[in-house]
């Protein structure tokens, strides 16, 4: 935890779970990405944390923005980004939203099939499109399934169709899966991408851009390699597959930009056992799956939790949220170790919670308020 967050929590005591994000950490992260991949433009994935203070800071630092909806486009523009720094990166868009984005000046769109190309051609004529290809999220803690992207052997047809309809067939994109702990996972996608670049060149279409997506990890309980390692690995793979004709590249970090900038302060509401003999305690917090910790789904993201008694002996706990829904259990398959002296009413700090928490909170399930957020 940063000194600034510690100070803020001490100076502003308050009931209820709250997220505090330190902008200094976001600034450092932006610079690390820019340094690690110096020839690559950064498009921050707004969905990770759309707080206006974060977007304004990044806009000021020169970041571009990957957006998924008209509302996110408007947030990026309001933060000071010009429309040429905004990408409409969702492959699933209503045609009227594409038209709205076009009216706002956005000229860069993601597609992954012919039907979406046709929508973009009608609603955003002459714009640049990039085709997303499927990428199996192996090695990622939060893999992205088959929902987005098309098979590599279809991508050339999708882009050729875009070209025929008067769009600019601009490039390719992929996402190696979020919280990708293996820096070498970009290599395979880049090899496949290079093949599609060649295929299209043979059809007379020169692609110009490669979107390397997000997936850069943040530190939770397990160690992750620094962003420099990812940068080197990606650069080597680009050299290997594109030789001295490396196209323009962009990255879309979300989690890696803001994850470690945020800490949630929460409170222990109840500690109990399910039987007298049970050696596993149930620890119920005032935050759970419905008010900020949705990414504990299937116990995929395992957050570090700090208490005031971390020096004491540890014992296994099932960790659960406060709501009256039985799925609101955070960690049970793999019990979480917490100090045996932890008491009801104690504050706990949940680290690495700057990404995918505030906007992943329900509007008020069971009357529990959406997660409060402070950006300092
Ligand atoms: C969510 C998303 C990202 C950000 O992913 P992280 O793993 O958080 O870095 C980037 N690009 C696209 C298209 C996304 O949907």
**pLDDT (tens digit, 0 to 9) for every residue of the chain, 376 residues total?**
899 999 999 999 999 999 999 999 999 999 999 999 999 999 999 999 999 999 999 999 999 999 999 999 999 999 999 999 999 999 999 999 999 999 999 999 999 999 999 999 999 999 999 999 998 777 777 766 788 999 999 999 999 999 999 999 999 999 999 999 999 999 999 999 999 999 999 999 999 999 999 999 999 999 999 999 999 999 999 999 999 999 999 999 999 999 999 999 999 999 999 999 999 999 999 999 999 999 999 999 999 999 999 999 999 999 999 999 999 999 999 999 999 999 999 999 999 999 999 999 999 999 999 999 999 9
Q: State the distance from the centre of ligand 1 to the C-alpha of 47, rounded, in angstroms.
A: 8
In a domain, 123, yes or no: yes
Does residue 255 have its Cβ closer than 6 Å to ligand 1?
yes
Cα distances from 236 to residues 38, 39, 41, 92, 251, in angstroms, run 14, 13, 17, 32, 16
Residues 213 and 118 in one domain: yes
Asked whether 264 and 292 are in contact (CB, 8 A), the reply is yes
State which of 253, 287, 315 marks the end of a domain. Answer: 253
In a domain, 19, yes or no: no
Tell me the pTM.
0.97
In a domain, 44, yes or no: no
Q: State the distance from the centre of ligand 1 to the C-alpha of 134, rounded, in angstroms.
A: 14
In a domain, 9, yes or no: no
Does residue 215 have its Cβ closer than 6 Å to ligand 1?
yes
The dihedral sign for the CA sequence 279, 285, 290, 292: negative
State which of 201, 236, 253 marks the end of a domain. Answer: 253
Residue 219 CA to residue 228 CA, distance in Å, equals 14
State which of 196, 219, 253 marks the end of a domain. Answer: 253
Q: What single DSSP character describes residue 62? A: T
Residues 189 and 310 in one domain: no
Helix (H, G, I), strand (E, B) or coil at 102: helix
How far from chain centre, in Å, is Cα 79? Answer: 19
Does residue 45 have its Cβ closer than 6 Å to ligand 1?
yes
Domain that holds residue 170: 89-253
For residue 47, which atom of ligand 1 is closest to its CA? Answer: 1
Residue 250 CA to residue 77 CA, distance in Å, equals 19
Q: State the distance from the centre of ligand 1 to the C-alpha of 252, rounded, in angstroms.
A: 6
For residue 211, which atom of ligand 1 is closest to its CA? Answer: 11
Q: What single DSSP character describes residue 213? A: -
Cα distances from 19 to residues 8, 288, 358, 370, 375, in angstroms, run 11, 13, 8, 11, 8
Does residue 132 have its Cβ closer than 6 Å to ligand 1?
no
Asked whether 316 and 224 are in contact (CB, 8 A), the reply is no
Q: Which residues are catalytic?
A: 324
Q: What are 284's two structure tokens?
A: 């119920």
- The protein residue whose alpha carbon is closest to atom 13 in ligand 1 is 89
Helix (H, G, I), strand (E, B) or coil at 66: strand
Q: Which of 42, 46, 66, 354 to mutate to test ligand 1, by most ligand atoms within 8 A of the CB atom?
A: 66
């Amino acid at each position: 935890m940063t000194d600034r967050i510690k100070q803020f929590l001490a100076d502003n005591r308050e009931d209820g779970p709250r997220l505090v994000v330190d902008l200094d950490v976001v600034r450092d992260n932006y610079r690390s990405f820019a340094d690690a991949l110096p020839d690559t433009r950064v498009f921050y994935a707004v969905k990770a944390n759309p707080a206006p203070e974060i977007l304004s800071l990044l806009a000021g630092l020169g970041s571009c923005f990957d957006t998924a909806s008209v509302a996110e486009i408007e947030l990026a523009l309001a933060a000071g980004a010009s429309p040429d720094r905004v990408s409409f990166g969702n492959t699933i868009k209503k045609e009227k939203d594409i038209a709205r984005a076009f009216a706002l000046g956005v000229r860069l769109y993601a597609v992954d099939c012919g039907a979406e190309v046709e929508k973009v051609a009608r609603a955003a004529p002459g714009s640049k499109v990039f085709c997303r290809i499927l990428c199996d999220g192996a090695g990622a803690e939060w893999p992205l399934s088959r929902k987005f992207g098309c098979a590599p052997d279809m991508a050339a047809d999708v882009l050729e169709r875009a070209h025929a309809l008067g769009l600019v067939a601009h490039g390719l994109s992929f996402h190696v899966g979020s919280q990708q702990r293996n820096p070498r996972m970009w290599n395979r996608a880049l090899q496949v991408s290079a093949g599609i670049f060649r295929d299209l060149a043979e059809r007379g279409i020169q692609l110009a851009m490669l979107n390397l997506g997000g997936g850069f990890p943040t530190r939770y309980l397990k160690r992750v390699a620094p962003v420099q390692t990812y940068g080197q690995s990606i650069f080597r793979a680009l050299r290997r597959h594109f030789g001295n004709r490396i196209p323009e590249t962009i990255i879309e970090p979300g989690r890696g930009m803001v994850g470690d900038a945020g800490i949630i302060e929460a409170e222990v509401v109840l500690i109990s056992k399910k039987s007298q003999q049970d050696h596993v305690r149930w620890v119920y917090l005032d935050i759970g799956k419905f008010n900020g910790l949705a990414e504990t789904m299937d116990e995929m993201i395992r957050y570090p939790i700090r208490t005031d008694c971390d020096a004491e002996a540890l014992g296994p706990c099932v960790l659960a949220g406060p709501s009256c829904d039985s799925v609101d259990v955070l960690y049970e398959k793999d019990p979480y170790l917490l100090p045996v002296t932890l008491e009801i009413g104690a504050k706990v700090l949940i680290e690495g919670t700057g990404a995918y928490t505030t906007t992943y909170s329900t509007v008020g399930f069971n009357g529990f308020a959406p997660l409060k957020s402070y950006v300092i």
